[in-house]
Amino acid sequence: MEKKRSNFSNKLGFIMAAAGSAVGLGNLWRFPYLAAKHGGGIFLLLYLILAVTLGFTLMVSEISLGRKTRLSVIGAYEALDKRFSFLGYLASVVPFIIVPYYCVIGGWVLKYLTVFVSNQAAAAASDDYFTQFITQAGSPLVCFLIFAGCTVFIVLWGVSNGIERVSKILMPVLVVLSIVIAVFVLMQPGAMEGVTYYLRPDFSRFSATTLLAAMGQLFYSMSLSMGIMITYGSYMKSEDNMEQSVRHIELFDTGIAFLAGLMIVPSVFIFSGGDESALGKGPSLMFVTLPKVFDAMAFGTVIGVVFFLLVLFAALTSSISLTEACVSIVQDKTKCSRRTGCLSVAAIMALLGIPTCLGFGVLDFISPFHMSLLDFFDFVSNSILMPVIALLTCIFIGYVVKPKAIIEEVELNGKFKMKTFYTIMIRWIAPVCLVAILIFSVMETLGYIKV
C-alpha cells in the first residue's frame, strides 16, 4: 500500500523548499561564466525571455504532473500513459550525471574556503593559482571526496532537515553579502565597461549555441527536465496557488543568478587588464576572478571566508537534494533499503566523480569532443538530455495528456491567468523552438554553419 504522502505545510514552505534546492552552484558559478562566455547582455536577455516563457511553461507542467498523480518521476509518466514511461527513466538519468561533477565543484569551493581561512588570499588572487590547483592529483581529489562524503553522510543519516533549516537562515545572508560585493565591484574604476557588456545585448553575438546555452542553464538552474519538480509537485497541496508559486520561484532563482553575474562579469573587466579572452574562462571563472576582488577589498580575507562558506552551504543543500532524488529513484525501482540506495548512489558518484576530478591533470588525455570530462558531463546533461526531455514532455502534455488536464490541475486553486498562452506554448511554440535550437546547435557544433 502506498503511504499517504506528506504535504508541504504551506505555500511558503513549498516555495522555500523548491527555491532552496534551486539556488546553488547553478546560479553562483554556472550562470556568470556562461554569461561572460556567450556575449553578456545577449545571453542575459535570452535567458530572461526563456525564463518567463519556456521555463514557466515547463515548471507549471512538471509540478502539475506530480500533483495530479501524486507520484514521483517514473511513476508519474507511467500512470498517465504507459508508452511514455521511458521518458520518466530518461529524466531520472539526469541527476545521476549531474551529481558527481556537482560534487567536484563543491570540492573546489571547499578548497577556496580553506585557502581564505588559512590566510592565503593573496596567493589565490594570482593568475595561475586555480590552474595549478585543479591540475594536481591529490588536492582536488581530497576536496571532492570530503564534499561528496559529507553529502552522502547527511543523506544516509537523514539529517538534511537540520541542514535545510540552517540554510534558510544563511541564504538571505548570502544575498546580502552578494549585494555588498557587487556594489564594491561596481565602484571600481573600469567596472562600467563590464556592466555595459553584461547589460547591453549585442545582437551580433546571437547564435543557436548561445540560445542552447541559455536554455540549458534555465533547465539546470530551475531543476527542470530531470523529474525533480514532478517529485516536488507530488508533495504540493492542492489548495496552493500554483501559478503564483512558480512565478515566485522563478523570480527568486533568476534574481540570485543576475546578482552573481553582476558581481563576477564586471570583475573580469576590472582585473584582466583589457584581456577579453579572460571572459571565456568557463568553469574556472568564479575561482579566478573573485579572489582578485577579495584581494582588492578591505577585510577581503574575512569577506572571502564568509562568502565561500555561504556558497559551500548553497552547494551542499543542492547536492543533498540531488542525491536524495537519486536515492529515491533507486529505492522506488529496486525496493532496496535506504542504506543500500545511498551506497549505490555513492558508488556512482565515486565512479564518475573521481575521473572528472582528475580530468584536468593526470587524466587530461581523456577529452571527448575536445572537452574536459567536467564540460562533457555538463554538456551531455544540459545541452542534450534536458532539451530532448523538455521536447518530449511538451509533446506528451500537448498531445497525449492534453493541456486541458494541466489547466484543470492548476485551477484547483485560483484562476490560471496565462492558460491560453500556456496552451499555445506547450503545443506549438516550445516544441518547434526546441527542435530548431537542437538542429542548429548540432550543425554549429559540427561546423556546418558558421557564426
Could you list the residues that contact ligand TRP (CB under 6 A)?
Answer: 21-22, 24-27, 98, 220-221, 223, 226, 228, 318, 321-322, 325
Between 125 and 212, name the residue whose CB sits nearer to ligand TRP: 212
Between 254 and 372, name the residue whose CB sits nearer to ligand TRP: 254
The minimum distance between CB 21 and ligand TRP, in angstroms, equals: 4
Core vs surface per residue 196-206: b (16+ CB within 10 A) or e:
ebbbeeeeeeb
H-helix segments, 157-207: 160-187, 191-199
**How many angstroms separate the CA atoms of 244 and 364, rounded?**
46
The minimum distance between CB 227 and ligand TRP, in angstroms, equals: 9
For 298, the 3-state DSSP assignment is: coil
Q: Which of 16, 31, 37, 15 is nearest to 255 (CA)?
A: 31
The minimum distance between CB 222 and ligand TRP, in angstroms, equals: 7
The residue sitting closest to ligand TRP, measured at its beta carbon, is 26
SS3 content of the chain, % helix, strand, coil (to 5): 80, 0, 20
The minimum distance between CB 340 and ligand TRP, in angstroms, equals: 22
For 146, the 3-state DSSP assignment is: helix
The minimum distance between CB 349 and ligand TRP, in angstroms, equals: 14
Which residues lie closer than 8 Å to 408 by C-beta, 6 or more apart?
A: none
User: C-alpha distances in angstroms, 31 versus 66, 215, 222, 326?
Assistant: 28, 11, 12, 24
Between 28 and 191, name the residue whose CB sits nearer to ligand TRP: 28
User: C-alpha distances in angstroms, 229 versus 23, 64, 325, 337, 367?
Assistant: 14, 9, 11, 24, 32
Between 106 and 361, name the residue whose CB sits nearer to ligand TRP: 106
The minimum distance between CB 203 and ligand TRP, in angstroms, equals: 28
The minimum distance between CB 230 and ligand TRP, in angstroms, equals: 11
Between 24 and 75, name the residue whose CB sits nearer to ligand TRP: 24
The minimum distance between CB 307 and ligand TRP, in angstroms, equals: 16
Between 44 and 121, name the residue whose CB sits nearer to ligand TRP: 44
The minimum distance between CB 435 and ligand TRP, in angstroms, equals: 24
The minimum distance between CB 67 and ligand TRP, in angstroms, equals: 18
Dihedral, CA of residue 82, residue 321, residue 361 and residue 380, to nearest 10: 30
Between 22 and 394, name the residue whose CB sits nearer to ligand TRP: 22
Between 27 and 245, name the residue whose CB sits nearer to ligand TRP: 27
Between 94 and 121, name the residue whose CB sits nearer to ligand TRP: 94
Question: Residue 250 has which C-alpha cell?
Answer: 522563478
The minimum distance between CB 131 and ligand TRP, in angstroms, equals: 24
Between 138 and 172, name the residue whose CB sits nearer to ligand TRP: 172
Which residues lie closer than 8 Å to 236 by C-beta, 6 or more apart?
A: 7, 8, 14, 63, 66, 67, 242, 245
Between 301 and 321, name the residue whose CB sits nearer to ligand TRP: 321
**How many angstroms separate the CA atoms of 245 and 251, rounded?**
10
Using a 10 angstrom Cβ sphere, with 0-12 exposed, 13-18 middle and 19 or more buried, the burial of residue 298 is exposed
Q: Which of 182, 199, 166 is nearest to 39 (CA)?
A: 199
The minimum distance between CB 405 and ligand TRP, in angstroms, equals: 25
Question: Residue 347 has which C-alpha cell?
Answer: 558508488
User: C-alpha distances in angstroms, 430 versus 48, 274, 282?
Assistant: 15, 39, 28
> Is residue 341 within 8 Å of 156, Cβ to Cβ?
no
Residue 56 CB coordination number (10 Å) = 20
Unique residue bearing C-alpha cell 542534450? 384
Between 98 and 391, name the residue whose CB sits nearer to ligand TRP: 98
